[in-house]
Amino acid sequence: MSTLLLVVGVIIGVAYFYHQIVVKGKRCISKAKLHGKTMIVTGSNTGIGKTTAIDLAKRGARVILACRSKQRGEAALEEIKRESGSNQVVFMQLDLGSLMSVRSFATTFLKSEARLDILINNAGVYLQGRTVDGIGLMFGVNHLGHFMLTNLLLERLKECGPSRIVNVSSMAHNFGKIDFDCLNTHKALGVRESFMEGLKVYAHSKLCNVLFTHELAKRLQGTKVTCYSLHPGAINTELTRNASSVFLMLLRPITTFFFKNTVQGCQTSLHCALQEGIEPLSGRYFSNCTVKEVYPKAKDDAAAKKLWEISERLCGLA
């Protein structure tokens, strides 16, 4: 019995330290105050986007909540104002699955807001299907909508420099690859509708985020705009809200103990947005508030350039 209790005690102790050190992770240590600065956070009505917006508002920033759902966005607006104690928070509707909506958002923003200092491309979906433009949903929302949004707002970011672009990716990008033939033919990163295919397509879309950041940094050289991609950690958020109830039930014990909460999960986004002195690391990938090396496929110059050109064509920006 004593041996069993010892083993159980060791397991509990190891699990506790794993949770405290690995799961919780590092925190953004920047004390930056943001009065007079304007930020956009996409997908900020829920999850790490919302906690990111709350932190930025507490620091004095004017924060634009760019969200698809008007109802959920306006509810988040009131909650963020209440938690941050700031009235400098604004909701603007943005559906990243509609190129028309992205263009409309950018036009409205540029007319109504004089500044843009930080753009945080945070929104993401894990759901198969097609956008209203006939583009693969995860490619369209996770990459293409943000690609178009960034390009439409780039001149304002340059005018307000030093400024930053933060692209929320995932360690799932390590398992991704881009089939350019499929992308050209089907406007999607995969065409089969299955659970495993969905996981693959999500990983492919996250690789797009890292390659986009890599190419964007090159094109921003000589400006006062820098950009970063990141893995926020495994987060217990609503990203999988469209998954099956059985899958969610099986996942619950894992997410409860091994996944970060949203406050822990937004720390690397805040680090990339605010940390002083990381400008020379523009184009790099961060995890746990630390710059990380990526596999060659995630910094492939030819692939990044090709993805950029296809994205320009699909957005009508070419």
Rounded to whole angstroms, how far apart are CA atoms 173 and 253?
Answer: 24
> Rounded CA gap, 140 and 314, in Å?
10
228 is catalytic: no
Annotated catalytic residue: which of 18, 126, 202, 295?
202
Q: How far apart are CA 166 and CA 207, in angstroms?
A: 15
| Residues designated as active site | 202
